[in-house]
Every structure is written in structure tokens, then in C-alpha cells.
Structure 1
Amino acid sequence: MTSPLPKTLVLIGAGKMGGAMLEGWLRIGMDPAGISLVDPKPSDEMVALAAEKGMALNLDPQALAPAEVLVLATKPQMLDTAAPTVQAFVHPQTLVISILAGKTLGDIAARLPNATAIIRAMPNLPASVQRGATGAAAGKGVSAAQKTMADTLLGSIGIVEWLADESLVDCVTAVSGSGPAYVFHLVECLAAAGIAIGLPPETAERLARATIIGAGEMLHQSPLPPATLRQNVTSPGGTTAAALEHLMADNGMAPLVRRAVAAAKRRAEELSG
């Protein structure tokens, strides 16, 4: 049986997200000797990791075998500048996976004319702790085997949702791409509310943080829908029910979150335009 892991992979951009993905690939057993890193300003940690694992760093494309997979993880605004260098790594058989926010399949194809198989993916920050959520859309030239390979690589940092239409990537950006910030702000709000009713600031923050972590782990472990979990911790006439009367009111949390996510989607569309 053919392994879903590529024998050769070039990572363009070894920053936070690129580094998180690299850690995931190594964790699931990809041979580091087959990984090449390209980053004009690699961190000291990345330089040390490359040396420790025997991964090539900033080698001439001519010195490398044709890559099965090339992952674009630079800042989106660097695409035009980096394209000539990146193009040298791309062969007709190379699968290109882009995580560049706002850059469409068409944008990548226009700048990398050698690329015939392109996947656009949108991971999120929890990839750094292997709890990422990635939405991905495959271009027409991607084979079934290449999609399986991409699923394995992206799945090393969390769940992967394949999208039927690339336009849905903007929706993914609004929900899970930006979503961690919404959760962090909820912790801020919950802690501030605790302080307002008399808790010491440090205690309020610890309790708020632990509450979100604990609730998240319950979601992770339980097969029950979120609505059922909510109902299970809500006693009729109790304290939780009193709070939910406000959070679930017509002007409560649901319409606020809808407006926030819609605003994020509009901005994603503007960046993609």
C-alpha cells in the first residue's frame, strides 16, 4: 500500500503556522530527510531543529529532488516577491498546498504557472497544540491520491473539513480561522464580569480560563450536541438558567455572534478580491 505521506516536501515559510505544521508532520512519522525548509529569516529554534533532524534549510532548488508537495506558509503579502523563488521548486507533478489567507486558487495558479495541482487551506492557531480546525478546497487538477496526502498532512494538526466550493473558505475564515480570538475574548469578558461582582482579578481570570478549558474538553470528549451539553448543566430555575435568560434573549449572544462572523466573512471577501 502506498504511504499517504510524501517522500519529499518543501515548506516555504517556517513561522508560527508553518512551524506548527512541521511539528505535526514529524509527529506522524514523516522522514525529516525528505523535508526542505525555505525561510529568509528562520528563527534560531528552526535553525536548530533543522540541524538536529537533518532537514535542508535554504538550499538551492537545483540541489533538491523534485518535490512531491510544496506548502506555502509565508505571509500573504509576500507571495508576489517570493513567487520566482517558489516557482523553481514546483514541477508538474508537485502538489501545492497554500495556507495564504485571502489568496485564491487562481491567485496561486497565476503566480506559479508550473503548478497543476493546488489546494487552498485555512488552518487556525490551535494547530500549534494539535487541536487545529482546517477548511480546505482542492483545485480541479488535484488527484484522489494527492487529496489523501493533503488530508494526512493537514490532519496532523487537527481536524480537516473538505469544502465543495472554494468560496466557502471565506466562511471557514470567519468561523474557525478567526474563532480562537472570539473564545479568548469570552474569557476576558467572563473574568471582567467576575471582577465586577467582587472576585479578585487573578482569581476571576483563573476561574474563567479553567472554565473555558474544561468546557472545551467536554466538547472534545462527548459525542453529544452542544445544545444537549448546555441543557445538562442547566437546572430549571437555577443560577445557570437565570444567566441564560440574558445570553439567549433576542438581543443576546446569538445575534451578536452572527454579526461578528458576518463582519469577518465580509472582510475575508475583501481581502480575497
Structure 2
Amino acid sequence: MAATQVLRSEWTKIRSVASTVWTLSLAAVLTIALGVLISILSRNEFKNMSVKEQMGFDPTFISFAGMSLGQLAMIVFGVLVVSNEYSTGMIRTSLAAVPQRGTFLFSKIAVATLLAFVVGLATSFIAFFLGQAMLGSYKAQIGDPGVLRAVIGGGLYMTLIAVFSMGVASMLRSPMLSLGILMPFFFLISNILGAVSATKKIGRFLPDQAGSKIMQVVPPVGDDTPYGPWGGLLIMVIWVVVALFFGYLLLKKRDA
């Protein structure tokens, strides 16, 4: 089967499954809604902040506060895109139609990545503009230094979270097992490692902590992270590439 036909087939599969459409919609709604709420609370609390907190106040990053929940929906999207066919048994039919397993896997990931990027980028821009509207006089402008990079970076971050989840799901195949590992990893383990002083230096090299640097415009006061926004994104990309590589490797070696 030609590559264009495989891409078209994967697009049909993704858009015809209601759960994948709903998870993308949920990612956008959670990110935007929570970002607006946190922006309102931050505006009301600004005058009560200490001088140190005011110096490190990042209005752009505040509007992306909803990413912490939105990324969980992106994880579900990434897992479902890959593992749905395993759970239904359709993977045998798909591999019979497309015996070139690399073509099959990367066509699926390419279509899902493009869809995640479109949704992620639109979500990032909407979250930013609504968040800044809620911040009032404390807002940032899209033309301010570093702001456009951060907003585009928000879309890239959401996309990479989804693609990383696709790589993990390719390795594990089971949606329950994939979600059972990814959800606690991003929602609990990463936050704990980043908050405890003994493990903070390890935590900052995890994909979510490194990748989220791209959305920061004002570095936190006393921040000693050894990389900048683009360096953090590069670390996240490396995690994604490794996950995809092992997902592809296991797909080639295992039976359907």
C-alpha cells in the first residue's frame, strides 16, 4: 500500500473514533478553562505577593497553568491512537494490509502528531489571550520579548506530550498499562521529584519539566536550571525520539 494511502487510512481511523476526538476537545477545554481561572486568581492576589514573588511573576506562564490538566487528556489521546487497535484486535487486519510495520506506525504517528499540533497550537493561543485579558494591568503582550516563542512553545509542548505517549503505548500496547504508567508519572512522580531538594536536579531533566521551560518568559527568582527554553524543549524531544525508537523496535520484533 502506498504511503499516501496509509496516511489517508490512519486519518480515517482517528477521526472515526469518538474517544480520540473527545480527548483532544477535553485537552483544549481543560487547558483554557483552568488557565483563565488561575489568571483571575493571580490578578486578585498580585498585591498580596511578596516582592520576590512579584519579581518572578510571569503573566505568560500563568495563562498556561491549565496545561497541567490538559496534558493528561493529551496523554490519553496519544495512548488511544496507538493502543485502540490492540485492544479491539484490529491490529492484525491493519498489519496484514500494511506489512511494512515502520510505514504503518509512523503514518499513524504522523497523522496524530499533526492533529495534536493543530489543536495544541490553537489551545495555546486561546489560553494566552484569554488569560492575559483576565490579568488586566498585569498582562503581557504577544509582541513582548519571548512571549510569542512561549505561546508557540505551548503548542509544541502539548504535541510532544501526545507523541511521547504514542511511543510508550507502542512499547506497552495495552491502553490500561500505558495510562497506568504515564498518568502517575506526569501527575505525581515528576512533581514529587521536582519539589524535593534531593531529587530536584534529576526531576528537571524529565520530559514535562524540561519541556515546560519553553513556555516561561520570566525565569523564577533563584532559578539555577542549566538549560534555557530551547534546551529544555530539546531534552523533551530526545525523550520522545527514544520512546518512538523503542516502540518501533518492539513492533518489528513482536507478533501482532
- How does the TM-score come out when normalised to structure 2? 0.28
User: Which one has the bigger helix percentage?
Assistant: 2
- How does the TM-score come out when normalised to structure 1? 0.26
User: Which one has the bigger strand percentage?
Assistant: 1
Larger radius of gyration: 1
Higher relative contact order (CA 8 A, sep 6+): 2
